[in-house]
Structure 1
């Protein structure tokens, strides 16, 4: 069930990047695209934190770092043209992109360093890790709001810095908190101790809180501004992870293949969107459908290629 969730999450990321429903309904776009779809990346971080427990326990941190580092380097090279030649040439901008990641590759950069931070703090108690997760995510949210509300509009340089996404959506203020939640879930094995009824209640409650936080920000705080971080990520992402285990199905599915598809879809879809935008003008539902179709085919080819070259996925 977890791998099915991961494929769905990858499709959610594609939907968000295709700005699904943007031109049709502002409220639907806010709830679905900027709401439901955006839980995908926090969920991915939570899943990685869950599996980092085994990495730490079996002393395979060096292997994990090598895998994530090579994956990041390869895909930064694949997208090299897009983050160099298609942007105004600026050495500082290029260096920052190299460090924080181009477009969706920020996830790998944050995962790599966030995993290192969690490794250094792995022996801390569950309470301390959870408290740290809330503290750092809240700090990121605070920076985000100060920037989006232009509190320092009279100081253009500072205002611009506060609105620079990597300042709050990074390894420490975004990745580490969610990795920690996944790690604590695995360390406590709480996913094996909760009843289906309780998990369903907690999942519905956390989902409701997430939508409420999204709409409150939209109507009363930031207006049309799209936010990257919500406090309710720390409730909904872990509950989705737990639900994937509690509501697991005994289906004869190729778990490794599904996992490969989720990674491939995530990594390749911006390339597909760039190509479509270059030759066609499509409304968001059509763009989403075509992107999923082409990205699905491209992902299959990447999976075949990965069997020979390795480290592509």
Structure 2
């Protein structure tokens, strides 16, 4: 999750991009612990299943934009090695939380176990996805823009098709969301969009005011599509592959890239990575195990640990969001203070 600067800003980091990344990281927290959930289904569709879904594609677009220089200077392998190393490190860090997921807590099959392990626990799929997408784009780095966009469109259409197949009952809804949310069907398309934006130096060719219009239209379409999919589809599906994200995510990033202003050093940008990587630690402890504990309570098999977690997770969702964000900020601060940011962020 790296950020730097747009071409026209000299040698420094884009303040707008760093601030956008922090905002997007907070949105990811909102996906997993939506503070608007008590307001009802419409509020959730507009936020956690709508607006907030722009965040991860936007991260891929930003990564693609700055991956361009690595690809053109022959540093694809070090880039891929770095993202793969981050993935392994964070998977190890999350073992105390994820072990139940990988030891049959969800009645996982052997193929499912390896699929989930390789593709990543919960939010860490982003790192496995970025690793795969960067490796693939590195192989295609010299392709024409038209060819790259064709690959992006085909890959994204595949993800959308799988997502719709789940929504219309053609694919088992309990199959892993990794089927449509992975480095090929979600990471690669948006990485390519960012890469192409940098290849043609779009931020230097338009003003941020003119970039606002496609961003506004894209966001509005995301909200509309989220509502339409929820009410038209026979069964629910995660809104990771909304068609409108293909406009909204790159447009929002383009706005940030065209806003002048530099950030003082890399620290601000590291906070977004820290929030993203660490937030599931407090979130899982406060909220995510509640469903499993509820089932255990219903079956009369809840152990002491489950009872303790369940007693904590009776907190209202808005408070869980606040506590999760506060916990992520505290953990990020600790990483920065300890000097581990170079290895973990």
Query: TM-score, structure 2 length as denominator?
Result: 0.83
Residues 84-103 of structure 1 correspond to what in structure 2 (within 5 A)? 84-89=99-104, 91-103=110-122
Structure 1 88/73 Cα, relative in aligned 2: closer, same or farther at 3 Å? Answer: closer
In 2, Cα distance between equivalents of 1:125 and 1:207? 29
2:210 corresponds to which residue? 198
Equivalent residue pairs, number? 303
**CA distance in structure 2 between the partners assigned to 1:82 and 1:292 by the alignment:** 18
Deviation at 1:85, TM superposition (A): 3.4
Could you tell me which residue of structure 2 aligns to residue 258 of structure 1?
268
Match of 1:110 among 109, 129, 154: 129
Q: Could you tell me whether the CA contact under 8 Å between 1:217 and 1:223 is conserved in 2?
A: no
Aligned partners of 2:154, 2:77: CA distance in 1, in Å? 28
Corresponding position of 1:32: 47
Could you tell me whether the CA contact under 8 Å between 1:144 and 1:162 is conserved in 2?
no
Q: How does 1:166-185 map to 2 (within 5 A)?
A: 166-185=178-197
Gaps of 5+ in 2: 1-15, 288-308
Matched, 1:281 2:291: no
* 2:172 aligned residue: 160
Contact 1:20 1:285 in 2 (8 A): yes
Secondary structure of the structure 2 residue equivalent to 1:34: coil
Q: Please, what TM-score do these two structures have when normalized by structure 1?
A: 0.91
Equivalent position of 1:236 in the other structure = 248
Q: Please list the CA deviations of residues 25-70 of structure 1 after superposition, one character each: whole Å capped at 9, or x if unmatched.
A: 2111110121111110000000110011011112112221221111
Q: Which residue of 2 aligns with 1:154?
A: none
CA distance in 2, matches of 1:161, 1:26: 20
Q: What is the CA distance between 1:165 and its match in structure 2?
A: 1.2
Could you say what secondary structure the match of 1:33 adopts? coil
Equivalences for residues 270-309 of structure 1 within 5 A: 270-277=280-287, 278=309, 279-305=312-338, 307-308=339-340
Question: Unpaired runs of 5+ in structure 1?
Answer: 152-158
Alignment CA distance shift 1:122-1:222 (3 Å): farther
CA shift, 1:140, in A, is: 1.0
